[in-house]
Amino acid sequence: MPWWGITLIVLGAILIIALVLLFIFGRKMQTRQAEAEKQMELTKQQVSILVIDKQKKKMTEAGLPEAVVKEAPAYARRMKLPVVKAKIGPRVMTLIADAKVYEILPVKKTCTVMMSGIYITELKSVRGGSVPKLPEKKGLMQKLRKKAEDLRAKKN
C-alpha cells in the first residue's frame, strides 16, 4: 500500500475518534444546560427595576460579585456579557441579561422583569409604554435581494 493511502486511513481514524468524542462531550453539555435551565426556572421571581445603563462588558470588568467571577470558567471570563446596571428598590446592582432581553430592554425606564439570581430572563412589562418587540434579523439572501433591488432602482 502506498504511503498516502496509509496516511488517509490514519487521518480518517483520527477524524472518527474526534467526532465520537465531540458527540459524547456535546451530550454531557446538553444535559448540564437542561439541568441549569430547570434550576433557573425554579428560582425565577418577578421584580420591578429601574434600568440605569446597559453595556456589553467582560465579566472581570463588569463589577459583578467576586463569587460569580470565581465560579465562571476561564473562557467565560474573557467573553463579553450583556450587563445591566439597575436600581432594585434602594440598591443599585449589576445584573446579567439574556441576549434577547438585552436587545429590547429600555434604558432609564421602570420595567417588570423575571429574574433568577442576578440573571434577567424575561421582560414582562415597561412602565409608561408597551414591551418592545425583538427586531427581526434579515438573512443573507434577503440582504442580497435588497441590494439588487436598490441597484436596479438606481439604474432606472
Query: Which among 131, 100, 97 is positioned nearest to 117, based on CA atoms?
Result: 97
C-alpha span between 114 and 41 (Å, rounded): 10
pLDDT band for position 4 (50/70/90)?
confident
Query: What is the arithmetic mean of pLDDT over 99-104?
Result: 90
Q: Kindly report the CATH class assigned to 45-126.
A: mainly beta
Helix (H, G, I), strand (E, B) or coil at 138: coil
Query: Position 53: which residue type?
Result: D
For residue 111, how many other CB atoms are within 10 A of its CB? 23
On whether the CB atoms of residues 49 and 94 are closer than 8 A, the answer is no
Listed by start position, the domains of the chain span 1-42, 45-126
On whether the CB atoms of residues 77 and 69 are closer than 8 A, the answer is yes
pLDDT digits (tens, 9 = 90+) for 49-63: 999 999 999 888 888
pLDDT digits (tens, 9 = 90+) for 24-79: 999 999 999 999 889 988 999 999 999 999 999 988 888 888 888 888 888 888 88
C-alpha span between 125 and 105 (Å, rounded): 10
- The answer for 89, left when phi > 0, alpha when psi is -120 to 50, beta otherwise, is left
Q: How far is CA 36 from CA 7, 40, 42, 73, 115, in A?
A: 43, 6, 10, 15, 14
